[in-house]
Amino acid sequence: MILLVGINAKYIHSNLGIYCIQAYARKHGIDDSDFQIKEYTINQEIDFILGDIFLEKPKMIGFSCYIWNIDIVAGISKEIHKIMQDVPIWLGGPEVSYDCDMQLKKYPWIKGIISGEGEVSFYELINHYLAETVGNIKVGLNIPGLSDIKGIVYREDAVASGVDNIVTNPPRENMSMDDIPFPYTKDAGFDIDTLKNRIIYYETSRGCPYGCSYCLSSVDKKVRFRSMALVENELQFFLDMKVPQVKFVDRTFNCNHEHTMAIWKYIYEHDNGVTNFHFELSADLLTDEEIEYVKNFRPGLVQFEIGVQTANSETLKAIHRNPDLTVLKQKVAKIRKQRNIHQHLDLIVGLPYEDYDSFKNSYNVVYEMKPDQLQLGFLKVLKGSPIYYDREKFAIVYQDRAPYEVLFTDWVSYMDVLKLKRVEDMTERYYNSMQFEASLPYIISFFDTPFDFFMQIGNFYKKMGYEGIHQSRLQNYEILLEFVLDICKPDKRKEEVLRQLIIYDIYARENLKNRPIFVGYESEIPKDEVRTFYKKEESEHKYLKGYDGNDWKQLHRMTHLEQFDIDIQDYLKTGIINDKKSRLLFDYKNRNPLDHQASIYKIAFSH
């Protein structure tokens, strides 16, 4: 039996690569008894993975290799070789597809490497290892020898000199996307139920027409597309199965207008009200037709991930990107206006010509675009990418171990990198969590720029010993309040406003029946008025939809009614604090699909 192993970063992730290899092998006659896949995570104990693989008694083992798992793959494969010395071990995937001969020298227990696409090469390897051997000759029809398999680099057995000979076969031609079987059906040997509560990855194209120097996709500039007849059937499968999220791994999904529109029209016209589709886009490529079309989408039907990377024009030129930032801003704003699509914008620390002050400007430029998430990444010098070959030219010093992250450059010091790590952490905690909708803009108004706020609160975490320690959601609010009172020293009026905004943010997410003590704000609604409201709501359901059959006490427990001394909803629309009492009803059953906050309704005061 041949075993193909995927080791994922998290349980919620899945490995599309090994699924496609399994589907291709099954389509071409390889029986399930002869070929299996196994998935683990990097968080599982090595001893468990080692033992589990051993008990399968494989004839050959393949590992799918990425920057997030190469260290654990190297460690496990080395131990496997000790206990199963006669079992050949092969590697494949983007992390080992370049400098394959160097990889084999680094890992002397590895038999060989599949370079590039693996479906056909691994299928031929399966045939090679499953064939019966008489003497030293493979017996059977169309049994390939290793020398006949394109796209592999392997170690020939030691000859008389005792020195292994590393052989590099000719590369394999890129395959047609239509020749890759859809991997998620029973016919492909897959049980979709095994992916419940996990992200499902899907691809309709390979390659990228752009040459971004930090990206491996820039190596393959010829884009191949899957035919829409196949794509539509596969999208319908996801819709019929009511898969929660399908993440397209197409590198620049919208590089072809007709392909983009065909897919968007299909998912819109067949929307099941449940499934979300994630796309990586180049925003400056979006056409007016595309932007107008997505305005019709159900909130939560799609989400966009857009790589901005930097606002520094010299940096953009150096990394072979040429977006018009003015156009990009305009298109992001047009998408945001409808508030039906989650937008995720990316920045990269450590790019050429981007120093600390330049990155601060890039951060503030992107922050003002008001993305739903602002992702800070740190440059990874990937083997085979253009920037890998330019690393000395740009004086980029990076870690030798995966994920090969930047340490410093001529423009940012290691101290700068550490500071920006704090900004990343605080951005994740206070912006990307989407749990501080009301309080965060108010607090940021106390600072010169958004970047200054995230930098200073990161320094506060360091100073107070909070850094590196897990905090609960409520502790994040408490520390935020502590920070503002200590650093900004607001007057009594601003402090009262801040406490109310924090209460609002807490109840927008949490159905707490006991208000946190640290907030220190009291504005109770008389119990008889609360009772009157819920009894009326029990019969009328003016605000609470989908609660039929619940009595007023149950409605009270399942929702929350809160009074404020300011009109917070007006503030969220205008940015102006209005001293007008307001009552808000927080409905936790009906949440916003973009930020997962409760639906919130303004309630008229009873007379």
Q: Quote the CA–CA distance of 419 and 376 in Å, as a whole number.
A: 12
User: Is the predicted pLDDT of residue 519 greater than 60, yes or no?
Assistant: yes
Entry pTM: 0.91
Please state which of the ranges 181-185, 321-325, 368-372 shows the lowest mean pLDDT: 321-325
Q: What does the pLDDT look like over 193-212, one tens digit per residue?
A: 888 888 899 999 998 877 67
Give the DSSP per-residue string, 372-412.
Answer: SEEEEEE-B--TTSHHHHTTTTTT-EE-SSTT-BEEE-SSS
DSSP 195: G
Strands (DSSP E) contained in 310-394 are 342-349, 373-378
User: Is the predicted pLDDT of residue 545 greater than 70, yes or no?
Assistant: yes
What pLDDT was estimated at residue 570?
A: 94
Q: What does the pLDDT look like over 325-344, one tens digit per residue?
A: 999 999 999 999 989 999 99
Token reading at 13 = 């992730």
Q: What does the pLDDT look like over 59-98, one tens digit per residue?
A: 999 999 999 999 999 999 999 999 999 999 999 999 999 8
Q: What is the mean pLDDT of residues 271-295?
A: 94
Q: How many other CB atoms sit within 10 Å of the CB of residue 57?
A: 10
Q: What is the mean pLDDT of residues 492-521?
A: 91
Q: Quote the CA–CA distance of 538 and 128 in Å, as a whole number.
A: 70
Q: What is the mean pLDDT of residues 290-315?
A: 95
Q: How confident is the model at residue 132 (pLDDT cuts 50, 70, 90)?
A: low
User: Is the predicted pLDDT of residue 563 greater than 50, yes or no?
Assistant: yes
Q: Quote the CA–CA distance of 251 and 67 in Å, as a whole number.
A: 17
Q: What does the pLDDT look like over 464-473, one tens digit per residue?
A: 999 989 999 9
Residue whose pair of structure tokens reads 């969590």 in the numeric block: 433
Token reading at 431 = 């912006």
DSSP 520: -
Q: How confident is the model at residue 606 (pLDDT cuts 50, 70, 90)?
A: low
Residue whose pair of structure tokens reads 């916003």 in the numeric block: 592
User: Is the predicted pLDDT of residue 456 greater than 50, yes or no?
Assistant: yes
User: Is the predicted pLDDT of residue 160 greater than 70, yes or no?
Assistant: no
Radius of gyration of the chain (CA): 28
User: Is the predicted pLDDT of residue 523 greater than 70, yes or no?
Assistant: no
In contact, 182 and 237? CB cutoff 8 Å: yes
Instruction: Tell me the sheet residues that pair with 202.
Output: 248
